[in-house]
Structure 1
Amino acid sequence: MRPCLLSFLLLSPTSAALAQPVAALQPMAFLAGHCWKGEFPGGTQTDEHCFQWLYGGQMLRDVHTVRSPGKPDYVGETTYYHDAAAGTVAFLYVENSGGYSRGTMRPADGGLDFPATQYVGASGKALTYRVRWTPSDGAYEAHSEIQSGERWLPQFKLLLKKQ
């Protein structure tokens, strides 16, 4: 019992929030140790992201859950890490229906930019998307666009508030 309790204490959100992130992940530090939740237009579907430092700040985990009435939860997990060889922050996203995505994040004036990358569904079909997160007081706005031919189309814009 004692080793389990010790593991729980070492991995608790409180201690994880106190981790000192590697320099490359510092722009994402405001997210760590918190859950952030937003409602899609119509107010019936929610999106929640819970962030936690891993390995003493070497990586950042984002557990992501979209809830819709009458449907199973859509759940995904993103791990952000410093890719020293490429000199950037990279991520791997996997989700419960078999899809995945790999990409990068770069700090930008007033926010975090996730340049164009591909989401590959379980069927193998790919979708190219890009995202920008803009922090504000106790919240951040996520603005996602998808590529259609040569054009970028809005996918969603969502305000996620600290819980």
Structure 2
Amino acid sequence: MRPLLTLPLLPLLLSSIAVQAAPAEALKPMAFLAGHCWKGEFPGSKQTDEHCFQWAQDGHSLRDVHTVRTPGKPDYVGETIYYYDWSAKVVSYLYVENSGGYSRGTMKPATDGLEFPETNYIANGLTLPYRVKWTVSTDSYEAFSEMYVKDKWVTQFKMTLKKQ
């Protein structure tokens, strides 16, 4: 009978372990983003890209609402949740967007910013491999995105996003 009495306590014990382990520690390299919106223009166009970051789940995840605005067209909107994946021991993310596309990937801190290693964007049955690097400055970061097309990496865009 004793094991049955302790079974209801298991979720309480696990939740206290998770609180003490502080997964937010792994998200600290991203802390400069939280509580701010960051906006940039795509080179050679009037399209803007804005990312607004907020802590979620008491700092255990970071939410990024991403909006691309093009004059005369509907907004392209996506949302990313960054979190610490305990089993893989890495910061992971899930990105979903308003046209149904999505991706899952990881983030690694770099000496000059953040790296998002190769992963896949999936939409409408198509898969596009991509990778991204954010180089951080005082009140901005440069986003450099590449996609894998026809057996080689090509620049998708390079843009500076400034703190709003």
| TM-score when normalising by structure 1 | 0.85
Aligned AA (2:105):
G
In structure 2, runs of 5+ residues without a counterpart are: 1-21
| TM-score when normalising by structure 2 | 0.85
Tell me which residue corresponds to 2:25. 23
CA deviations over 1:37-96 (Å, ceiling 9, x no partner)? 001123410000000000111000000000001110000000000001000000000000
Tell me which residue corresponds to 1:151. 152
Q: Deviating runs (4+, > 6 A) in structure 1?
A: none
Counterpart contact for 1:35–1:162, Cα < 8 Å: yes
Tell me which residue corresponds to 2:134. 133
Counterpart contact for 2:43–2:158, Cα < 8 Å: no
Percent of residue pairs identical:
66
In structure 1, runs of 5+ residues without a counterpart are: 1-19
The whole-number CA distance in structure 1 between the counterparts of 2:45 and 2:122 is: 28
- Count of residues paired in the alignment: 143
The whole-number CA distance in structure 2 between the counterparts of 1:71 and 1:119 is: 22
Aligned AA (1:36):
W
Equivalent residue in structure 2 for 1:53, among 30, 34, 55: 55
Task: Please report how far the alpha carbon of residue 21 of structure 1 lies from its aligned counterpart in structure 2 after TM superposition.
Answer: 7.1
Give the root-mean-square deviation of aligned CA atoms.
Answer: 1.2
The whole-number CA distance in structure 2 between the counterparts of 1:26 and 1:150 is: 35
